[in-house]
Amino acid sequence: MTPIYKVLKKNDTNINPVWIMRQAGRYLPEFREIRKENPNFIELCLNHELSKTITLQPLKRFDLDAAIIFSDILMLPYGLNQKVEFKKNFGPMLGDLDIKNMESLTQHDFTKKIYPVYKAINLVNNDELTKNKNTIGFVGAPWTLLVYMINKQSPKLKLKNDFFSDNALINKLLVILEKFLKVHIKNQIENGAEIIQIFDSWAGLLEEKDLSKYVYKPTLNLVDYVKSLDIPVICFPRGIKKYKEYCEFINPSVICIDYEVDPVKIRKEIKIPVQGGMDPKVLLTNTETLKNEAKRYLDIFKDHPYIFNLGHGILPETDPKMMDYLVKLVKDY
């Protein structure tokens, strides 16, 4: 049994598995070399050989316990025929919504359009480097995808004023999203994903009164679906204030916490395994600060099933030597 599975399935508190969100990415010079030659991000995600290579790059350098596939949550709207492109120094830009087209789209056509993503997962899972490690697949949560698809770009800190104006559109999109997220999840699992992480990057934008409709219920449907396939599911509702309420409603296999939440409070309130928490900016400081902060999380969750990770993705300006130091520190704890 892999170290992560021991934590997830056996509630083992004697080990500290570690993987890092965005571990395959811009902080690695070998990734930047590939990116330089492949400026179109979507095309890069759809190149199964390069996607596999990028996914495995951090495992060649560091003793990590999981490979998370190099892809993007916006492959879902792309698969639904919404235009998606990534502008340098701006981020994602999405095209107009064609609901009729999305409603008539077949599962076969959706799968065919983003099939290289699944092929890459298969290649990663069968690689020697992932032996006794887990292959992680992922999706965006319905709410976060809804935000991108209607907003057509990153909302940064707030939604546009008329975001909720077309209730019929939102309800139709939620139905479409649930249907195709299940297809996307199933395809990943059938190709070797052993854990699914659901990223709800914009959960923190909602008022409390709207959480049930847009976050709790749609996410619960997905979590129950993943569990029905006998696969563990990690949920990351970034920016949410009530983690306890979220866990009680949704009951994921693991809850991933962001760096704005108090880990001591989480330790007291949450019974299920916990992942993450440390601020990625700590990796931009020095080894002493990094050691103290990493140990703080490890100490707090010492007697609780815990997977070490950050409270958000690793920053592009991170020195790989600091990442190496961190992984070794966690392993030696």
Measured in whole angstroms, the distance separating CA 284 from the mean position of its chain's CA atoms is 22
DSSP string, 249-307: HH--SEEEE-TTS-HHHHHHH--S-EEE-B-GGGGGS-HHHHHHHHHHHHHHTTTS-EE
Tell me the sheet residues that pair with 275. 256, 307
CA distances from 30 to 36, 50, 131 (A): 10, 12, 22
Please tell me whether residue 86 adopts helix, strand or coil conformation.
strand
Residue ranges per structural domain of the chain: 3-332
The reported pLDDT for the residue numbered 71 is: 98
- Cβ atoms of 305 and 7 within 8 Å: the answer is yes
CA distances from 113 to 77, 80, 140, 199 (A): 11, 9, 18, 22
| CA torsion angle 224 228 231 232 (round to 10) | 30
The reported pLDDT for the residue numbered 48 is: 98
In the structure, how many helices (H) and strands (E) does the chain have?
16, 9
Q: How far apart are CA 323 and CA 333, in angstroms?
A: 15
The reported pLDDT for the residue numbered 159 is: 83
Tell me the sheet residues that pair with 91. 87
pTM over 0.75: yes
The reported pLDDT for the residue numbered 161 is: 82
Please tell me whether residue 196 adopts helix, strand or coil conformation.
strand
Count of beta carbons in the 10 Å neighbourhood of residue 59:
20
Local confidence pLDDT in tens for the 333 residues of the chain = 999 999 999 999 999 999 999 999 999 999 999 999 999 999 999 999 999 999 999 999 999 999 999 999 999 999 999 999 998 878 899 999 999 999 999 999 999 999 999 999 999 999 999 999 999 999 999 999 999 999 998 988 678 788 999 999 999 999 999 999 999 999 999 999 999 999 999 999 999 999 999 999 999 999 999 999 999 999 999 999 999 999 999 999 999 999 999 999 999 999 999 999 999 999 999 999 999 999 999 999 999 999 999 999 999 999 999 999 999 999 999
Q: How far apart are CA 245 and CA 270, in angstroms?
A: 10
Query: For the domain bounded by 3-332, which CATH number is listed?
Result: 3.20.20.210
Please tell me whether residue 138 adopts helix, strand or coil conformation.
strand
DSSP string, 23-74: -SSTTSHHHHHHHHH---HHHHHT-HHHHHHHHHHHHHHS--SEEE-S--TT
* DSSP classification of residue 130: G
- Cβ atoms of 95 and 83 within 8 Å: the answer is yes
Q: How far apart are CA 6 and CA 9, in angstroms?
A: 5
The reported pLDDT for the residue numbered 157 is: 66
Neighbouring C-alpha atoms within 13 Å toward the C-beta of 58: 28
143: its two tokens: 């709410």
